[in-house]
Amino acid sequence: MSSERRRQPVMLVISSPSGAGKTSLSRRLVADHADLFLSISATTRAARPGEAGGREYHFVTKETFETMAQAGDFLEWAEVHEHAYGTPRAPVVEAMRAGRDVIFDIDWQGAREVAAAAPGDVVRVFILPPSMADLSRRLHSRAQDAEAVIRRRLGRAKGEIAKWSDYDYVIVNEDFDLAYAELAHVYHAERLRRVRNPWLTPFVKALEAEPI
């Protein structure tokens, strides 16, 4: 982006019940957009097989988490599924200062807090599964969690789904490629919002002043 056309960053918040595909969707959006920064949360939950510290999450102890929370290091934090999850503030501030957009894969509690802190910048997207049966299938096929954990997550999914009307956009993830295309459309349209592009005012003035 040229410095004359610098726009206000988009803070794209994505939520869904576990297993509805928000992580795959948000990772692909990041892979396709070099100027989109993925916020990596800190959590007190243990890493699942295949997860790496600093990639999926910063895996921290309860003590470290509490110290960070007390120091104000989190933009928001919440208890989800008996564990604490928080969004480290500094990387987000730094990315936005550099003119990058930021994507957050956080629950409805975090989405509310971030939206309250930056109402003009935040765009909230909720991902729904096509059915509860499909959600159950996806959680089982992921095979990362014990059966009891999966049952607890499914039990909570309905409570999370109930928060859908907090969100600006809602995408049903029945077909991954279609859901991804819809998410990318939302992101691209939000970048073009007039209020995010203050450079338009001098640009249009210059257009008006141009002799024809």
Residues forming the site for ligand 5GP (CB under 6 A):
15, 18, 41, 45, 76-78, 80-81, 85-87, 105-107, 109-110
Question: Dihedrals φ, ψ of 114, to 5°?
Answer: -65, -40
Neighbours of 1 (CB within 10 A): 11
Q: Which is nearer to ligand 5GP, 7 or 156 (CB)?
A: 156
Q: How far is the CB of 91 from ligand 5GP (least distance, A)?
A: 12
Instruction: Using alpha carbons, list the distances in angstroms from residue 6 to 30, 67, 96, 171.
Output: 20, 36, 11, 29
Q: How far is the CB of 145 from ligand 5GP (least distance, A)?
A: 8
Residues written for the chain: 212
Q: Which is nearer to ligand 5GP, 105 or 121 (CB)?
A: 105
Tokens of 89: 């503030």
User: Per residue, what are the HEC states of 155-186?
Assistant: HHHHHHHCCHHHCCEEEECCCHHHHHHHHHHH
Q: How far is the CB of 186 from ligand 5GP (least distance, A)?
A: 18
Beta strand segments in 26-94, E: 36-38, 42-43, 58-59, 74-80, 83-88
Q: How far is the CB of 89 from ligand 5GP (least distance, A)?
A: 11
Q: Which is nearer to ligand 5GP, 55 or 193 (CB)?
A: 55
Q: Which is nearer to ligand 5GP, 146 or 212 (CB)?
A: 146
Q: How far is the CB of 195 from ligand 5GP (least distance, A)?
A: 26
Q: How far is the CB of 113 from ligand 5GP (least distance, A)?
A: 7
CA-based nearest residue to 16, from 104, 156, 127: 127
Q: What is d(CA 156, CA 98) in angstroms, rounded to the nearest whole number?
A: 37
Q: Which is nearer to ligand 5GP, 117 or 189 (CB)?
A: 117
Q: Which is nearer to ligand 5GP, 134 or 197 (CB)?
A: 134
Residue nearest to ligand 5GP (CB): 110
Neighbours of 191 (CB within 10 A): 20
